[in-house]
Amino acid sequence: MKLKLLFILSLFFFVSTNAQEYIFGKVTSEDNLEMIDVTVINIRTDERVTTNRDGHFMISGRQGDNLRFIKIGYDRVNTNVTKDNIDSPINIKLIRSAQLIDEVEIKKSLTGDLKIDTKTLNPPKKVEKLKKDLAVYIKQKSDPRILAAKPGEFVQPKGQGFAIGKVKDKWDDVDFMNYLVTALGYQYFNDLKIENSQVQHFISYVIAGGFERRSILKYGFVSDADLMRFQRAVLSRISAYKAPQTQK
């Protein structure tokens, strides 16, 4: 009889101490709006529920449990259940997460070679504008006033003329370079980031890259087509000229 009574008392004590309790509450936003579909997790029991359309929830738990509130786009909130939370509803407020700007991905990796990388990446806006202006200029007929000589300047013959017997070159490369500087002007090279002190050196670099000029030197005459051809050679050689020279 005593054993039976002891068993009944022990069972009653076990049920009383382990009786299941429920925690009620409400979840709102920082603007005090009811939040639906917020996930509520009891960390101890791993029980999960979601808030209803009014932001209310009910989950089993007891004093000392840790509740976690999760919703995409909002900061996660953790709170410990106190005795007051058992006796009255618990109110939770979620704060919207800070938005991060997506990183810009360069799909093609850099090689470290400036000559190659400058072709891979977008060219400077000034170079793009220069190419467009040059394309428009090539399509137009040359205005003879553009290359008109100033008073006192050397005037180049308007035609190649003719000669009897073997003809000696009328120009050398220095004459040709001086003509290019006069015809194009320093501003043309400045727009390409070439300083005045570097213009002669840069022209020599372009010519040395295989620019055909035998007829020009022979007759001392530069046609509009020759001038346009030189400008195209400039655009094709400018990147290599500005690239660091490889040490041998």
Using one digit for the tens of pLDDT, what is the confidence trace for 171-207? 999 999 999 999 999 999 999 989 999 999 999 999 9
Tokens 């007759």: give the residue: 219
Residue type, 29: S
- Residue 216's nearest CA partner among 226, 229, 230 is 226
* CA distances for 203 relative to 10, 185, 192, 206, angstroms: 104, 12, 12, 5
Assign 133 a pLDDT band (cuts: 50, 70, 90).
Answer: confident
Domain ranges of the chain: 22-94, 114-154+165-242
pLDDT at 15 > cutoff 70: no
pLDDT-based confidence at 134, cuts 50/70/90? confident
Percent of the chain at pLDDT > 70 equals: 67
Residue linked to tokens 């046609």: 223
- Give the C-alpha distances (Å, rounded to integers) separating 84 from 79, 88, 216: 13, 6, 99
| Both tokens assigned to 226 | 């020759």
Q: Which long-range contacts (CB under 8 A, 24 or more apart) does 96-104 make?
A: 96/29, 96/30, 97/73
Residue 3 has pLDDT above 70, yes or no: no
The pTM is what?
0.37
User: Is a pLDDT exceeding 70 seen at residue 97?
Assistant: yes
Residues 6+ apart with CB under 8 A from 241: 202, 205, 206
- For residue 26, the model assigns a pLDDT of 95
Give the range among 7-21, 116-130, 136-150 with minimum mean pLDDT.
7-21
Report d(CA 27, CA 134) in Å as an integer. 65
Q: Evaluate if residue 12 carries a pLDDT over 70.
A: no
Q: What dotted CATH number matches 22-94?
A: 2.60.40.1120
Tell me the mean pLDDT in the region 152-167: 51
Tokens of 118: 């400058």
Distance separating alpha carbons of residues 231 and 229, to the nearest angstrom: 5
Say which range, 20-24, 93-97, 224-228, has the weakest mean pLDDT.
Answer: 20-24
Short-list 210, 205, 202, 201, CA closest to 229: 210
pLDDT bracket for residue 96 (50, 70, 90): very high
pLDDT above 60: residue 148: no
Q: Which residue has better confidence, 148 or 189? A: 189
The pLDDT value given to residue 243: 79
In angstroms, the CA 51 to CA 94 distance is 13
